[in-house]
Amino acid sequence: MKLKKIFITGGAGFIGSYTCEQLLKIKDIKQITIFDNFTRGSKKNLKNVINDKRVKIVNKANILNLKKLTLSMKNHDVVIHLAALWLLHCEKFPNQAFNVNVRGTMNVLEAMNINNVKKIVYASSASVYGDAEFVPMTENHPFNNKNFYGSTKIASESLIKSYCEKRSIKYTILRYMNVYGERQDTKGAYIAVIVKWLNNIKSKKDLEINGTGKECFDFIHVSDCARANVKAVTNFNCNGEFNVGTGVGTSLEKLAKSLIKITNSLNLKIKKKKILTTSNLVTKRIGCTKKAKKILKFESKIDLNFGLKYFTKYFFTNN
């Protein structure tokens, strides 16, 4: 197994930056190439790695530029493909989402094939499952997705499997559950529920839940996701799809109460907002962790309460 030069699309992003940090702990790795257009990623995210001589950043990187992608990927051993438009952005701009999330993935595969790169780790999402028919959801759970973001992930998964099988390229597809943690986007238009609630707490506003509050999800800390990426890289010959989660479900109401308690904001209330339509509403999504534990040797380490305390401290220090 060759594991000397790693190419990461979206390497300056939320999950990508943590992945770079953890990869640099592996002594055999000689270079990490970060291919990121810095739309959501930032140099600030890379402050712990940017001065490492093994880290190379490609300027003006764009996965839609096949020529630059191919030239930049030359002589690499593994690709970690994280670059993508996020859920609500995909809903608003479906054509752009298709180009980046699907065409971009195809470009990554083409560049790999030209450069004879023999392993891809792909960041997929639990969005492919849609609402759970059973929990915990195994990797064989039906694709019940009803949003465009999930559709692009399903399409890319299928592309990767068919393309790689034909060309003897190894692939590991990671389906992240609900990821949270330090460096998560706090100022963009498409921020996650934990960040929205922390913003409310900072402004001394009540916390609002869109739904009954019983909606239940699997929240996993970003550093655990990064460890899963590293496990997928080092398990070079491991083909297949794997859930990346804790296997523990937490209701939105319980999550909100935890944040109120952690921040000692006991005067704030939790308000529930009735949803007029439930056609695309996901009410339960908890991942089965057995396959990842058995084959990838991955298991989450960070307890949600501990992770929320750490994230909350980081949030109020940096915002």
The answer to whether 149 is a known catalytic residue is yes
HSE of 138, CA atoms in CB hemisphere, 13 A: 3
CB 163 within 8 A of CB 313: no
Question: How many C-beta neighbours within 10 Å does residue 81 have?
Answer: 25
* Cis bond upstream, residue 94 (ω within 30): no
Share of the chain residues as helix, strand and coil, in percent rounded to the nearest 5: 40, 20, 40
* List 18, 129, 149, 176, catalytic entry: 149
Q: What is the DSSP string of 60-125?
A: T--TT-HHHHHHHTTT-SEEEE-----HHHHHH-HHHHIIIIIIHHHHHHHHHHHHT--EEEEEEE
Choose among 252, 161, 156, 171: nearest CA to 212: 252
* Residues annotated catalytic, as ranges: 149
